[in-house]
Structure 1
Amino acid sequence: MDRRNFLRSGCALMAGSMLLPERLLAKEEEKPNIVILLADDLGWNDVSYHGSEIRTPNIDRIVKEGVELERYYVCPVCSPTRATLLSGRHPLRYGMQDGVCTPLTTHGLPPKEITIAEMLGSVGYKNRACLGKWHLGLNSQKFDPISQGFTYFYGHYNGALDYFTHKRYGQLDWHRNREACVDGGYSTDLLGLEAVNFINKHSDDSPFLLYVAFNAPHGPMQAKREDLEEYGFDHDKGIIKHSSKNRGKREMQPEYGLKGRGNTVRQTYSAMVDSMDDQIGKILEAIDKNKISKNTIVLFQSDNGGIAHFGGSNKPLRGGKFTLWEGGVRVPAAIRWPKKLPSGVKQNAVTGAVDILPTVAEITGAKKPEAQLDGRSIWPVLKGEEKPDPERKLYLGDSSAVMQRWKINKGRLFDLSKDPYEKNNIADKRPDIVKKLNDFIEKVESKAGEKCSLGPEKKGEFVPPKDWNLGLLDK
């Protein structure tokens, strides 16, 4: 079923609901609000509930009041994780597994993919907001959030946005829907404020979907002075040197990322995480004040592991962003729903971002897209009704996959039950497990699809559209 027919069938379902008995209408009204909070490059050891020195009381609150997802897997870089989170399908299927969407590429999340926003729109979720970093296509308006099922967008299309100027490659990349928006302030604060405003506006018009994709703590390394001081900023010491790679003429921002640096990269990174956690606290407070916390699902996760030279830490896990080691693809995550889920539970089952769409489909009664999903509903696991499935296999990308006990990473096999830090390759000792996982990987990778490229091909020196108006690229 294509997107148009999927949405049309959803409208028919909503129209038909007008004829349902009162008892069923009451049940319809009980659909939960859904809030998805996504951090950018947050490492395993960058939350205080994992023992970090960085203070994250509000992220910790979600863990304490909900289900901690101890074995939650994503892709090793951000665009693929965002794609799989919204589609329930491996980005391999549409050519997005390996890299991010940059201004120099022409591909993105294909318009034909049914996103979680479109799916929920078919079952009564009238207000569906995307706030923050999109990063799923920069070469056509057909890739933007409004074209992908969201009814409201506030934020930026690019990655690595300047937190203070909101510019990328010399052009303002800050939008309200499709119009350029000049809002002064630190981007993390602006996203938190917008999320609170959305909740205040639509708390009586439930259910809603709110997807908040923070750009923190991704580079450039920029924090507010008051947050830096909370982590010991010394005015008499020098600031960290510019850590971004010199992109020459492509960057076109000689002062890019200079403002907001601390004495050390870890200090700056810590202040950025702290600021994000503050805004998460304000979002949770808005949910509480509007008396909708009981029936609001809140999911928190990172998009991939942290980067050590940009201040992130994945200890004691091995590796980090860009790698398929645990530190690159296993991230902090938790889900809270006071009405239906237990609190203070640590769930050790293998789960991942690919499972969110099918899980939400089961919870809301939405019809899943007919395209083959790679995730599965983890609702019974979250409720504690099912134990971890020892045979479940989750594809991680590039000849790598994980099970409850086993993990294979490009031919190297690890027994995570005994070796969670991936120190001992035992592929020669368990050829049966190697074959099982390689057969699974081969099956998944045989379904690899082509990239969806739209808009003009990039030739010569790149010049971004004014105010990052993607519609100009389609003309």
Structure 2
Amino acid sequence: MKIVCVFFVSFVCLLEKFADGKKSPNIVFIVSDDYGFRDIGYHGAEFATPNLDKLAADGVKLENYYVQPICSPTRSQLMTGRYQIHTGLQHSIIWPSQPYGVPLDDPTMADFLRGQGYSTHAVGKWHLGLYKKEHTPLHRGFDSFYGYWTGGEDYYKYYVCDRFHNRTIRDLSASGFLLPGQINNQQDVEWCGYDLRDGNEPVTTMNGTYSTHLYTRKSIELIEKASSSKQPLFLYLAYQAVHSPMEAPDKYIKPYSFIKNKYRRIYAGMVSAMDEGIGNITAALKQNGLWEDTILIFTTDNGGQILAGGNNWPLRGYKRTLWEGGMRGVGFVSGPALGRSGQISKELMHVSDWLPTVADMVGSKLNSSWKPDGENQWPMISKGKRSARSQILHNIDIWTPLKGNRLYNNTFDNRVRAAVRVGDYKLITGDPGDDRWIPPPHEEIDLMTSKEKVTDPADTKNLWLFNVRKDPSEVIDLSLTMPEKVVELLAVLATYNATAVPPNYPPSDPNCDPKLHGGYWGPWE
């Protein structure tokens, strides 16, 4: 019997090994980009997500699930099961012009599944390194790839610009990537190029095709081929949606004329196009006789970007911050083969858990050379067992400027940007980013024209403690009333920090210039 698991980022699909033991489950993993916690129907979105809502209602909603605040760290942890302090991705994302990627000695989920006899395919966004061919998908365990190697671009032209980066220059682009003409000042160096690939080859014929439609179509083609194959399928679909720039066909935007905020209205259209695509993928699984043996999982890669239409209400903060709005993700598991429906799991789960969970799902184990930080959560998802983890390291970023005064000696330095969850308690130190609660925009509010909060130099507070089970919106700071718990969690951070590798965030390399490579972003070493 053949099984298909579909993953949506915010999660990975996990299946029990079937009793006959003759076939391994197919796995389809779908990830949405910058999809806000508020922005799905069952969390109160003001726009429709009928396919996502139905799939979630028919499966298991993961309501205590965490990702990372930004793209590359989440995707790297999903693929390798390794915390970013162990891969050098503590500080930021991988920019197109930077010569680094996820370490080559950390194998990926695709490597593992290929070793189990799977046919492995990636569609959509990569964002795990491109400066050497060895960092691109066909060299990281995938048999095929169709999509883009960078982290964000135009939805129709597949064109993006980047500028000089190093760890001493603050990322100034709120959206994360620049479009032509968005130079911050005359000192900036800008490199621009196209980024759409079929395997390693540039694609030049899709200008004008909306990427959400394109990646849905390519995924359906792979599903159709899988229906006649005896080899199990791993399909990793990482939508560009709903990352900026704000672009969607008019037909998806028009139903939301009641949303007065322009960017929120476009964002609603972007979500609707993605929701339709997921519905079409579900239909393709049914039409090709795979649905009854399918598990479908959906996950985001980080919190919504309020400056690009997203929203995380009632959570505090948003993309790039260490508040819950930056890291608590939308995610669910669905499909007839799951064997459970109408369930809500409030057990603790982290994006790094997917790799060991998949290993259990296919009836295998990671060998001793694999050292994931993630935990096997398949019993939790498939049988309702307790979570296999009791804590999460959200991050330790020693390269973000220190904030405030050191309050405790002989333990973790509370001036460093970091966060950890242990049981019900979450400790945040240093500068976690914009600390506002941002409600869904109203007619008189235009969040795209507002600026991210600039911290008052006089504000030296650098320590917060919350019981996030009772207080998920992080309203009641317990750091002054529970000093023992603060010291306990600082010690946990110190233990993690002792295992960290140095951050990797090299200056941009001018040899990245797409003009030197046929106008396309691609390897230059």
* TM-score, structure 1 as length reference: 0.83
The SS at the match of 2:395 is coil
Mean CA deviation greater in 37-46 or 396-405: 396-405
Instruction: Give the alignment of 1:8-407 within 5 angstroms.
Output: 27-125=20-118, 127-169=119-161, 170-181=192-203, 182-184=205-207, 185-205=209-229, 206-232=231-257, 264-369=262-367, 370-388=369-387, 392-398=390-396, 399-407=418-426
Bigger fraction of residues in helix: 1
Given the alignment of the two structures, is residue 446 of structure 1 paired with residue 498 of structure 2, yes or no? Answer: yes
Percent identical pairs in the alignment equals 33
Report Cα offsets for 1:313-365 as digits up to 9, x if no partner. Answer: 10001110000111000011001242244111000011011100000001112
2:479 counterpart (410, 413, 427): 427
CA separation of 1:324 and 1:451: change in aligned 2, threshold 3 A: closer
Q: Is the 8 A contact 2:85 2:503 kept in 1?
A: no
Deviation at 1:271, TM superposition (A): 0.5
Give 1:278's aligned amino acid: E
Counterpart of 1:468 in structure 2 is 520
How far the C-alpha of 1:152 sits from its partner, in A, is 0.6
Residue 14 of structure 2 is matched in structure 1 by none
- Native 8 Å contact 1:233 1:263 kept in 2: no
Aligned counterparts of 2:384 and 2:159: Cα–Cα separation in 1: 48
Q: Is the 8 A contact 2:264 2:308 kept in 1?
A: yes
From the superposition, tell whether residues 96 and 283 of structure 1 become closer, same or farther in structure 2 (CA, over 3 Å). same
Instruction: Give the secondary-structure state (helix, strand or coil) at the position aligned to 2:292.
Output: coil
* CA separation of 1:450 and 1:28: change in aligned 2, threshold 3 A: farther
The alpha-carbon distance between structure 1 residues 86 and 460, as it changes in their structure 2 partners (threshold 3 A), is closer
* One-letter identity of the residue aligned with 2:249: K
Distance 1:29 1:232, change over 3 A: farther
SS of the aligned residue for 1:215 comes to coil
| 1:229 CA drift (Å) | 1.2
Deviation of 1:142 (Å): 1.2
CA contact (8 A) 2:90 2:503 kept: no
The answer for unaligned runs of 5 or more in structure 1 is 1-23, 235-261
- C-alpha separation between the residues in 2 aligned to 1:448 and 1:401? 14
Runs of 4+ in 1 over 6 A off after TM superposition: none
1:9 aligns to what? none
Give, in angstroms, the shift of residue 445 of structure 1: 2.0
Other structure's SS at 2:122 match:
strand
Structure 2 gap ranges (5+)? 1-16, 162-191, 397-417, 430-462
Residue type of the alignment partner of 2:127? H
Residue type of the alignment partner of 2:70: V
> Is the Cα–Cα contact under 8 Å of residues 219 and 310 in structure 1 kept in the other structure?
yes
Helix, strand or coil at the partner of 1:298:
strand
How far apart are residue 431 of structure 1 and its match? 2.8
Between the aligned partners of 2:335 and 2:22, the Cα distance in structure 1 is 16
**Tell me, what secondary structure is at the counterpart of 1:343?**
coil
Paired residue secondary structure (1:68): strand
The alignment partner of 1:60 has SS state of helix
Partner of 1:6: none
AA aligned to 1:292 is: L
Are residues 353 and 25 of structure 1, via their aligned partners in 2, closer, same or farther at CA, if it must alter by over 3 Å? closer
Change (3 A) 1:459 1:175: closer
